[in-house]
Chains A and B, each alone.
Chain A
Amino acid sequence: MKQVQAETQKKKQKSLFDHIWDFFASVKVAIVIIILLAVTSIIGTIYPQENAIPSPNPQFYYADTYGKMGDLYYRLGLSDMYNSWWFLALVLLLAISLIICSIERVIPLYKSLKNQPIARKVIAIRGDRLYANQSEADQSRIDQLAEAFKKKRYKVRREGNALLAEKGRLPRFGAYIIHIGLLIIIAGVFVRLIPGAYYSGMVWLKQGERQYIEDVGFGLQNNGFTLEFYDDAQTRVKKYETDVAVYVGDEEKATKHLIVNEPLKFNNTLIFQNSYDPNPMFKRGKVELTDKASGKSYGTFDINFDDPKPSYQVGEYTLTMINYYPDIKVDPEKGGVYTNSRDPYNPGLQLSISKPGMEGQTQWMMPLAPFVEEMLGKEYQFKLKLVQVELFNMTGLHLQKDLGIPVVYAGCAVVLWGLVLCFYYQHRRIWARLEDGELHIGANTNKNWIGLNKEFNKLIATVGIDPVTFKPKAKKKAAQQAKQLDTPQSDAPHGKEGTEK
């Protein structure tokens, strides 16, 4: 950084843009942004975010569940923090910092590696941490070394009596490859902003139901849902699966037996088996009408609980629906009844039973509340018994269309590649120079000196030099001085590897 500042100070005045540039090019600023992101992310994990709460009304949920602190959390907008403008701004600041930091350093690094001198001063080679020499040598030694280096897959360049062998220059750029990967990931996340590139939604389907989802341009039909448990008490789910069909218009385009973790892909949209409604619904049933006292059966009728008919005929009896509550609840305060939802989870039927010559008798039927029925039904003449019933659970399918996913995955791959280059590979350079009949060989790497040392010893053995060991890192002040003296070693003014062993 200091050098950059020194450079810019030479130009009489710094413009606003220079200030902005320097701000984003600073590693300190980048670290501050990273830490700010980490710290603010913590805040968002104190209470669940709005997308994870089991309630559609966050304005009440936080206050009810977490008290005053929860209410404050909601009011400050922390309950949807990761979508807030300021968090987004932090992410974008990080992206800009990634770009400018990389530009600022990649270009000088690239230039210096490209223009590095082949012939280094002997005094510099002597200063290398790994150094060997041989007196009474001649040009043929350099030729031998060049051969040996080539065998070890070094790139060898020569200039007169000097030689530079280099291996693994790309790992020097590992950090910037990581940065590019991260930028690709961020770009992939923002792909969803393109109209039509993103859709996410839940579809709840009853048995046989078909729904058309406009945003993705097709409809889904539930052709059957199965639910299995590991135990009889039904506490631990084993699997839940839906036979799903995709429709465009009235034409069936695709079908799949959909299971968790294995989505169906259609039209760039993934259809996931996400969940199911744990409360089963009534579909169809057969109801038997009997005389309560004698138990004599008058016959049966079939009922569709989702859409019952206004009246049914059993033998000579007519059963007229006075009231039908698909999901009956009793109001404990007013004593009235009402339906809790539009779907037949807990049907309650109020029927009038009559036959020619007999006045209608009003009677309730509640298959899931036999006690209530019993209580009300002491005076009943008839008994209505559900003899057969078909229940089903609604299946919950999650639709996800995100054209950014491949971009994000590609970014991840680039990041991993960069990480491997950065941490598991190294840049090795070996210089050789013949001066006054003495051969000097010096080596440098950005990491793994032990490995380089082994290779170095094998290489110099080919010209008959005894093994050497690398010098320990010079301590603090001495090291800094050495760096300033020895320019080729710190060829990138901000080369991160400079501080590494």
Chain B
Amino acid sequence: MSNQLNRTKIITILVLLIAALGIMAAVINFNQKDNVASLELGNTAPDFTLKTLDGKEVSLSDYRGKVVMVNVWASWCEPCRQEMPAIEQAYKTYQDQGLVVLGLNLKEKQVPIQGFADTYGLTFPILLDTDGKVGTDLYRVRPIPTTFFVDRDGILRNKAETPMSFSYIEGIVKPLLEAGR
């Protein structure tokens, strides 16, 4: 009788403790849901097709064999404005060696983007991600600017979540350009 009682107690305690630990794990997992896993470096960068400011359709896979820098930006974002001249400079400097810059604008409209590109004298292609399908959903960009670096084989090699300087870009892009040769 008392043995049986003891067993009931043991089972009750075990069930309660396991349930408690399970709930704790579930809650901790629940609270971290917001931090969706970001893209993993070393994998193939997801392909996408978007319209450019000039009305052409452009895919990431079109640039296989080149080093591609995908810069996600918006004109209302101050650090984005800061880094634009550096990006433009890097594009001009390394264009011949096989660097492509794709300026992926997040959810803005044609006319303000055009004005911005003219003001800053941007010469690289600007892609219009009007509903955030590529930037927010596919590439899971949280803060902007965020820049992705894709090597000549289409592999995602690096990611920057800060405004970049020219030397910063150079530090990442140069090895990628040289590696492909």
Contact = CB atoms under 8 A, between A and B. Distances in A.
Contacts of A323: 112, 115-116, 118-119
Nearest to B24: A88
A327 B111 contact: no
B6 interface: yes
A342 B26 contact: no
Identify the interface centre among B76, B78, B108, B118: most chain A CB within 10 Å of its CB: B76
Interface stretch (A116-124, A233-241, A306-314, A409-417): A306-314
B43 interface: no
Contacts of A96: 16-17, 20
Contacts of A309: 111
State the main secondary structure of chain B at its contact with A: helix
A83 B31 contact: yes
Interface string A247-275: 00000000000000000000000000000
Interface string B15-28: 01100100110111
Nearest to A337: B119
A338 B23 contact: no
Contacts of B140: none
Given A93-B20, A103-B12, 19 more contacts: A15-B6, A17-B9, A18-B6, A18-B9, A83-B31, A85-B24, A85-B27, A85-B28, A88-B24, A92-B20, A96-B17, A193-B23, A307-B109, A321-B114, A324-B115, A325-B112, A338-B75, A342-B107, A342-B108
Interface of A: 11, 15, 17-18, 20-21, 24, 83, 85, 88-89, 92-93, 95-96, 99-100, 103, 190, 192-193, 306-310, 321-327, 338-342, 350
Interface of B: 2, 6, 9-10, 12-13, 16-17, 20, 23-24, 26-28, 30-31, 74-76, 78, 81, 107-112, 114-116, 118-119
Nearest first, the 3 closest Cβ-Cβ pairs linking A and B are A323-B115, A193-B26, A92-B20
29 contacts: A15-B6, A15-B10, A17-B6, A21-B9, A24-B13, A83-B31, A85-B27, A89-B20, A96-B16, A96-B17, A100-B13, A100-B16, A103-B12, A193-B27, A193-B30, A310-B110, A310-B111, A310-B114, A321-B111, A322-B115, A323-B115, A323-B118, A324-B112, A326-B109, A338-B81, A339-B112, A341-B76, A342-B75, A342-B108
